[in-house]
């Protein structure tokens, strides 16, 4: 038997033969691991077969599906993209190749053109050695992210056990171009085609995928765009593409001040998160952005439901209370947020990590309408972002405090007992609310960490409550490492 045919047959074998078990790479929100130790061109084959089988079962279709594949700029993405495409063709799928793209543009492509589903090859903000797959399928309600509660366990089981497609006719590969231009038009429509002044904006894309949509957006609106690290480079030569690590924002903050700019933008590695820097070079917390966008929405769409995660709730809740909206609190993570949007008919959603979602994008993340709305508010009210953010802010936040522990569940039970006089929620880990402060404590879905977030109405209470909670956690913790 020819060697290539033998390899193809091995790839189509029902069982995974590679010695590296991929079980640990199936996360609550996506598939993610280190290349090539945990995810590689060998084990991506049974994973892709499982994903396509899941799509077929979910759709109830007996005809070939149209599956979108996009990829980021990571060094391992081209080979994973190639093997994924080959695999889908072998099992009869019609592949829609959208090439190098941000994750929001990938979501837009699936929904806007009526494709059946797909996956983006990316590891988001993770370091350069990682890669993975973000999976979505189209439903009658919009985009459904495949996660722990929406099918990831089924995909995992089929990937590990193998699936048989029998004799099928080979599929095809079609390139789809021009998607980004359509996405910009859609973002302008969502934002109400606003009037925008010519602001000076500095953007640091960290050599990652956000560069694509930011550059295209500013071709269509007034503005002086100053680009930092816009050359796509999967080695991330300047800094990791993770704006949640505030040290990665220092160069951008300085550049905003040096340029006398009105605004700074910092997307993450695959472009589905974005952070804003004000004209003073200060980081604007996502809860303030959620508050500003919610206020804008509720002025013209009173009664709308806004979905948030439970890390920081005071500012969004106060905005909704003042402008006639309704807040729905969800678990953290795209799959959970989108599920909550569909269930509650949410108009807009935002997370404390800088993710923003819209009903108009099928419940998928889309930073561009947020950028447009912020610029629109700045234009209409003729106020700098620092002042606008201050208008909606009603709390002070600790930032996330992480603990690498072996006994997360035990710690959360002890914390629950210690703060039993507060208003308790176990929606996602535990959250306890008092009249003037609150906190949440949850296990990370992507890393082996226990995450603590605290917010207070008085600024001086943040450090006080942080010290108090850290002492209680450390008293009961069995550390794998020191808290950081």
**Which tens digits make up the pLDDT trace of 373-394?**
999 999 999 999 999 999 999 9
Beta strand 263-267 with 142-145: parallel, antiparallel or unpaired?
unpaired
pLDDT of residue 21: 58
Which has the closest alpha carbon to 191: 432, 450, 379?
Answer: 379
Quote the pLDDT of residue 446: 64
Q: In 42-93, where do the E strands start and end?
A: 66-71
pLDDT at residue 129 in the model: 97
Q: Which residues of the chain have pLDDT under 50?
A: 1-20, 482-484
pLDDT of residue 464: 97
CATH architecture of the domain with range 397-476: 2-Layer Sandwich (3.30)
Beta bridge mates, 405: 479
According to the model, what pLDDT value does residue 208 have?
Answer: 98
What are the C-alpha distances in Å from 300 to residues 287, 342, 346? Answer: 21, 21, 15
pLDDT of residue 481: 57
Tokens for 51, please give them. 């994903």
Give the model's pLDDT for residue 480: 75
In CATH, 181-281 is 3.40.120.10: yes
pLDDT of 29 reads 86
Q: Examine domains 181-281 and 286-395 and report if their fold is the same.
A: yes
Cα distance between residue 410 and residue 213, in whole Å: 44
Is there a cis peptide before residue 304, judged by omega within 30 degrees of 0? no
Looking at the structure, give the CATH architecture of the domain made up of residues 3-177. Answer: 3-Layer(aba) Sandwich (3.40)
Q: For residue 227, which phi and psi values (nearest 5 degrees)?
A: -95, 135
Phi/psi for 408 (5° steps) reads -60, -45
Of 144, 213, 149, 142, the residue nearest 180 (C-alpha): 213
Topology (CATH level 3) of domain 286-395: Alpha-D-Glucose-1,6-Bisphosphate; Chain A, domain 3 (3.40.120)
Residue 186's nearest CA partner among 347, 361, 348 is 361
Nearest of 391, 388, 370 to residue 378 by alpha carbon: 388
What pLDDT is attached to residue 346?
A: 97
Cβ neighbors of 367 (< 8 A, separation 6 or more) are 104, 210, 213, 267, 271, 272, 273, 274, 356
Rounded CA-CA distance 464/327 in Å is: 28
Q: What is the 3-state secondary structure (H, E, C) of 307-375?
A: EEECCCCHHHHHHHHHHCCEEEEECCCHHHHHHHHHHHCCCEEECCCCEEEEHHHCCCECCHHHHHHHH
> pTM value?
0.93
Domain-wise residue ranges, the chain: 3-177, 181-281, 286-395, 397-476
User: Annotated active-site positions, please?
Assistant: 124
């Amino acid at each position: 038997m020819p060697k290539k045919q033998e390899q193809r047959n091995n790839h189509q074998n029902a069982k995974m033969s590679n010695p590296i078990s991929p079980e640990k790479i199936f996360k609550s929100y996506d598939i993610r691991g280190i290349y090539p130790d945990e995810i590689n061109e060998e084990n991506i084959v049974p994973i892709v077969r499982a994903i396509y089988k899941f799509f077929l079962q979910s759709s109830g279709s007996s005809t070939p599906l149209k599956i979108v594949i996009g990829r980021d700029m990571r060094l391992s993405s081209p080979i994973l993209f190639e093997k994924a495409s080959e695999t889908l063709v072998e099992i009869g799928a019609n592949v829609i190749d959208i090439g190098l793209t941000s994750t929001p543009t990938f979501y837009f492509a699936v929904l806007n053109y009526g494709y059946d589903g797909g996956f983006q090859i990316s590891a988001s903000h993770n370091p350069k050695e990682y890669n993975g797959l973000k999976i979505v399928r189209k439903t009658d309600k919009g985009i459904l992210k495949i996660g722990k509660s929406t099918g990831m366990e089924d995909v995992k089981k089929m990937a590990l056990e193998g699936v048989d497609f029998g004799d099928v006719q080979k599929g095809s590969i079609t390139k789809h171009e021009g998607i980004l231009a359509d996405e910009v038009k859609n973002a302008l429509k969502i934002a109400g085609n606003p009037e925008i002044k010519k602001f000076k904006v500095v953007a640091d894309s960290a050599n990652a995928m956000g560069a694509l949509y930011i550059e295209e957006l500013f071709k269509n609106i007034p503005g002086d765009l100053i680009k930092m690290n816009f050359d796509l480079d999967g080695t991330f030569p300047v800094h990791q593409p993770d704006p949640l690590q505030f040290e990665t924002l220092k160069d951008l903050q300085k550049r905003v001040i040096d340029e006398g700019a009105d605004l700074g933008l910092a997307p993450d590695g695959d472009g589905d998160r974005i952070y804003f820097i004000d004209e003073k070079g200060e980081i604007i917390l996502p809860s303030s952005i959620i508050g500003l966008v919610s206020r804008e929405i509720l002025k013209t769409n009173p009664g709308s439901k806004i979905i948030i995660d439970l890390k920081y709730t005071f500012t969004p809740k106060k905005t909704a209370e003042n402008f006639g909206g309704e807040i729905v609190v969800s678990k953290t993570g795209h799959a959970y947020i989108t599920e909550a949007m569909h269930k509650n008919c949410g108009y807009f959603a935002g997370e404390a990590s800088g993710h923003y979602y819209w009903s108009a994008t099928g419940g998928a993340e889309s930073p561009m309408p947020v950028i447009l709305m912020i610029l629109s508010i700045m234009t209409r009210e003729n106020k700098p972002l620092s002042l606008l953010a201050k208008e909606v802010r009603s709390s002070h936040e600790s930032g996330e405090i992480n603990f690498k522990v072996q006994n997360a569940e035990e710690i959360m039970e002890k914390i629950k007992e210690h703060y039993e006089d507060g208003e308790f929620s176990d929606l996602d880990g535990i959250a306890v609310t008092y009249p003037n402060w609150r906190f949440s404590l949850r296990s990370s879905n992507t890393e082996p960490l226990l995450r603590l977030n605290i917010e207070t109405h008085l600024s001086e209470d943040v450090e006080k409550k942080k010290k108090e909670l850290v002492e209680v956690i450390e008293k009961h913790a069995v550390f794998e490492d020191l808290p950081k």
